[in-house]
Copies of this chain bind each other. A is one copy, B any other.
Amino acid sequence: MNLNQALSALNELEATLRAYQHALGCLNYDGETVAPRNSAPARGETMGFLSGIIHEKVTAPETGEMLDTLLANKESLSLKDRRRAEVLKEERDDLTLVPADEYMAYQQLMAESMQVWHDAKLASDYPAFAPYLEKIVAYNRRFAERKNAARPAYDVLLDGYEKGLSHETLDPFFDLLRRELAPVILEVAKRPRPDTAFLDQAYPIHLQRQFTDRVMQIMGISRDDCAVGETEHPFTEGFNKHDVRITTHYHEDSVLSSLYSVVHEGGHALYELGVADELQGTVLAGGSCMSLHESQSRFYENLIGRSRPFCEVLLPELKALFPSQMAGVDAEMLYRAANLSMPSLIRTEADELTYSIHVMIRYELEKAMIEGGLNTADIPGEWNRMYKEYLGVDVPDDRRGCLQDSHWSFGAIGYFPSYALGSAYGVQMLKNMEKDVDVWGAVRAGDLKPVTEWLGEKIHRHGQLLTPAQLVESGCGGPFDPNCYVRYLKEKYGELYRL
């Protein structure tokens, strides 16, 4: 196979993967948003079938030959073509580590496991889920060993979510958060709680839907390229830069829940929408690793969305749609309600200050499970002990404890740190952005375009053309510095709670 043949084989493989991944993404989005409940088994079968074909195409010997040819000629390739080959090679290497029958069996295990987790969570029945978690941990440990037996298994898994990430970055990061934030959290918990009574009213869902439209407009998200669905656990799915889907959930008694889901998922969407045209259709289209994706979503959600200027912009919108509920509320009250900090049980509902502690606890547990020091049977006890130690809360049941998140049930071990890391990246990006852009002027004007353009230039447009490390450097304007995140949180909550 010569270089030209290899390049056209690459084009062809990308076209194939694009079609199958588009179909899979659509089936998944549909399944999570509008599909009727009993549709799951047939959808699982179809998705298994299509995933099997992706596995077959990526692991095919011809694909190996094509990638070898390309990577043996790295120097004569454009950056784009080189990265296309590298990114596919990584994917292929992961898939070829696992024999096809073992891969299919694991897919089947995960499908069952997600269902079991779902029911176990409802029933707060950890023992029902534990045997599945046991198998999933064993699979991940085996996978990590096959991939690189020389490194700690958990590091190998972390690297799968962000190339280059290991305990060497994360141990000191989470140590710092524990050391610096835990005392602040306990101090804040003693202060008077802001007045949030205006939130404890009915906000009709059909009006919340209109509010979503306005929020997306303020964020500058084109509805011709991005739709909004409704689901239980909000997520974003991006097929290409002209077809991104965010999701939210509406609770009549919790107007801020949908608002911040929309702003968070909107951040993911802006990333996908901002990838350069010339990367579309290739494996480089779409956002980079999970932590970078979370850096964008949590940037919009917290740094912008929970800022005073943004609350000032939202206030008249809320008053127009909910005049009686919002009577007597001013921007400062909204700001304080949106930033209510309180040690709590549920990660996805946690405020900015306590959020990373939830993640830290999962990090410690995952590391211990994979490195072999912790049995799955001991997870609930350890979970509850750490929640008490770091957040001062008693976990009443596993539903609100170690069964709350779905990640482990679909095999995602090593994923959680992305949330905290992304939050920290985002703060450093903001500080860097403030040197170039009048961020708060833009927010006050209700037009986030200058903010998004800056992120587009530094992060979004590059897709996977740059490595995660290069993108972090590009956004942060220097090496990652977790102190920046800690300083930001201490300042923000110090002012809010007069510490």
Contacts and interface: CB of A to CB of B under 8 A. Distances in A.
Most buried by B among A15, A223, A242, A244: A242
In the assembly, how many copies of this chain are there? Answer: 2
B41 A242 contact: yes
Contacts of A15: 49
A23 B35 CA distance: 13
Contacts of A244: 36
Contacts of A30: 26, 29-30
B29 A46 contact: no
Contacts of A16: 49
A38 B280 CA distance: 14
A49 B38 CA distance: 28
Interface stretch (A169-177, A224-232, A300-308): A224-232
A43 to B, nearest CB: 7
A15 B45 CA distance: 9
A4 interface: no
Contacts of A23: 23-24, 26-27, 46, 50
A39 B239 contact: yes
Given A36-B225, A36-B242, A39-B242, A46 B18 contact: yes
A22 B40 CA distance: 12
Contacts of A222: 36, 38
A37 B223 CA distance: 8
Nearest to A240: B42
B36 A224 contact: yes
Which residue, of A36, A223, A240, has the highest number of chain B Cβ atoms within 10 A? A36
A498 interface: no
B36 A243 contact: yes
A36 B229 contact: no
A327 interface: no
A34 interface: yes
A118 to B, nearest CB: 15
Interface in A216-261: 222-227, 229, 239-240, 242-245
A206 interface: yes
A12 to B, nearest CB: 11
B19 A224 contact: no
A22 B26 CA distance: 11
A398 B16 CA distance: 41
A42 B22 contact: yes
A29 B206 CA distance: 23
A30 B36 CA distance: 14
Contacts of A45: 18-19
A17 to B, nearest CB: 11
Contact of A37 (B35, B50, B224): B224
Contacts of A38: 222, 224-225, 242-243
Residue among A23, A27, A29, A239 having the largest count of chain B Cβ atoms under 10 Å: A23
Interface in A31-69: 33-39, 41-43, 45-46, 49-50
Contacts of A22: 27, 42-43, 46
Given A15-B49, A50-B19, A243 B42 contact: yes
Given A36-B243, A37-B224, A37-B225, 13 more contacts: A16-B49, A22-B46, A33-B34, A34-B34, A34-B229, A34-B245, A36-B225, A38-B222, A39-B239, A39-B242, A41-B242, A42-B240, A206-B206
23 contacts: A15-B49, A18-B45, A19-B45, A22-B27, A22-B42, A22-B43, A26-B27, A34-B34, A34-B227, A34-B245, A36-B222, A36-B224, A36-B227, A36-B244, A37-B223, A37-B225, A38-B225, A39-B225, A39-B239, A39-B243, A42-B239, A42-B240, A42-B242
Interface of A: 15-16, 18-19, 22-24, 26-27, 29-30, 33-39, 41-43, 45-46, 49-50, 205-206, 222-227, 229, 239-240, 242-245
Sorted from nearest, which 3 A-B pairs have the closest CB atoms? A39-B243, A206-B206, A19-B49
